[in-house]
């Protein structure tokens, strides 16, 4: 049997964003969950992108992905406008207000995986409607490890389908408010216990600048975030973290607990670089040597 052309398939949204922070505003920049995740994963493994753009999508954005050696066979181009999002961050850079959301071609997106992508051993289901995530799972052929991401919208409007797809994945990732919303539990420990009962082996709760927590039925792993002096834009940080994690895990060829913990470190470090600039600007300039140097520095900070 021939080896698939990609080791990791990532499915999600692609957008053109307008983002305003307390110090700066950037208009019409590249965004979307699959864009950030694929960029992060590309440092470690051959990654295939599944998403949709409109005929207005700038060629320079596609070239950015090509320069990162991201496989674009799964990218659909549909007549119409690309998904657009605009938002404003408050002074603390944690809270943000959505100003506008225009689904455009994303509204009728149905992910179709190229033949080779269906054989990829690793799969990341980015934050899209649970029915679409289930549609992707119907197309893949016995992947070794599946990570699913979600958001409060799907918890509120389609919790039943979301629970169904979570049960078919190895790991669920979501942020702390989403974990609390899904379970009704304020305690993240209790929330994770409930979520594990849905079927995944791992629940990864993202805590933004406070790091992340990995839960299994047997133990908890705590990972701090890399401390930054300053950063410009937190948009896509969670997708960058998850993409880097899955890229590093795919590169290891493993799925055991220790490998997942190591992959989380890489995901966290890639995300720390990503927020230093808007969009993919910092990741475009990033080299593997810089990544490894920061990983070593981070591990020394955490050493007991």
Q: For the segment 169-228, what is each residue's pLDDT rounded down to a tens digit?
A: 999 999 999 999 999 999 999 999 999 999 999 999 999 889 999 999 999 999 999 999
- What pLDDT is stored for residue 17 in this prediction? 96
Q: For the segment 253-268, what is each residue's pLDDT rounded down to a tens digit?
A: 999 999 999 999 999 9
- What pLDDT is stored for residue 2 in this prediction? 57
Q: What is the mean pLDDT of residues 45-58?
A: 98
Are 70 and 95 in contact by the 8 Å Cβ rule? The answer is no
Question: What is the secondary structure of 38-87 as a DSSP string?
Answer: HHHHTTTS-EEEEEEEETT--HHHHHHHHHTT-B-TTEEEESSPPPEEEE
Q: What is the mean pLDDT of residues 121-140?
A: 96
Are 135 and 165 in contact by the 8 Å Cβ rule? The answer is no
The dihedrals phi and psi of 58, each to the nearest 5 degrees, come to -65, 135
Average pLDDT, the chain: 95
How far does the chain reach from its first CA to its final CA, in angstroms?
46
Q: What percent of the chain has pLDDT over 90?
A: 89
This prediction has a pTM of 0.96
Instruction: For the domain covering 8-302, report its CATH number.
Output: 3.40.1190.20
């Amino acid at each position: 049997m021939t080896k698939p052309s990609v080791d990791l398939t990532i499915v999600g949204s692609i957008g053109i964003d307008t983002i305003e922070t307390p110090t700066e505003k950037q208009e019409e920049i590249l965004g979307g969950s699959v864009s950030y995740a694929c960029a992060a994963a590309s440092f470690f493994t051959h990654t295939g992108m599944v998403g949709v753009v409109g005929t207005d999508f700038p060629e320079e954005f596609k070239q950015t992905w090509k320069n990162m050696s991201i496989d674009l066979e799964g990218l659909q181009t549909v007549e119409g406008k690309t998904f657009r999002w605009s938002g404003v961050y408050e002074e603390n850079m944690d809270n943000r207000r959505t100003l506008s959301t225009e689904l455009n071609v994303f509204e009728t997106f149905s992910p179709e995986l190229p033949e080779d992508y269906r054989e990829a051993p690793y799969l990341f289901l980015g934050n899209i409607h649970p029915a679409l995530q289930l549609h992707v799972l119907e197309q893949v052929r016995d992947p070794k490890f599946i990570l699913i991401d979600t958001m409060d919208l799907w918890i509120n409007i389609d919790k039943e389908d979301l629970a169904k797809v979570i049960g078919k994945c190895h790991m669920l990732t979501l942020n702390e408010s989403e974990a609390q919303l899904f379970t009704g539990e304020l305690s993240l420990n209790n929330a994770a216990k409930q979520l594990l009962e849905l079927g995944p082996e791992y629940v990864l709760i993202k805590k933004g600048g406070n790091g992340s927590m990995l839960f299994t039925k047997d133990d908890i792993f705590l990972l701090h975030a890399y401390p930054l002096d300053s950063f410009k834009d937190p948009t896509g940080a969670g997708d960058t973290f998850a993409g880097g994690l899955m890229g590093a895990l795919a590169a290891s060829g493993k799925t055991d607990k220790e490998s997942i913990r190591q992959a989380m470190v890489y995901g966290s470090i890639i995300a720390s670089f990503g927020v230093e600039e808007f969009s993919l600007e910092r990741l475009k300039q990033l080299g593997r040597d810089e990544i490894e140097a920061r990983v070593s520095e981070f591990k020394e900070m955490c050493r007991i």
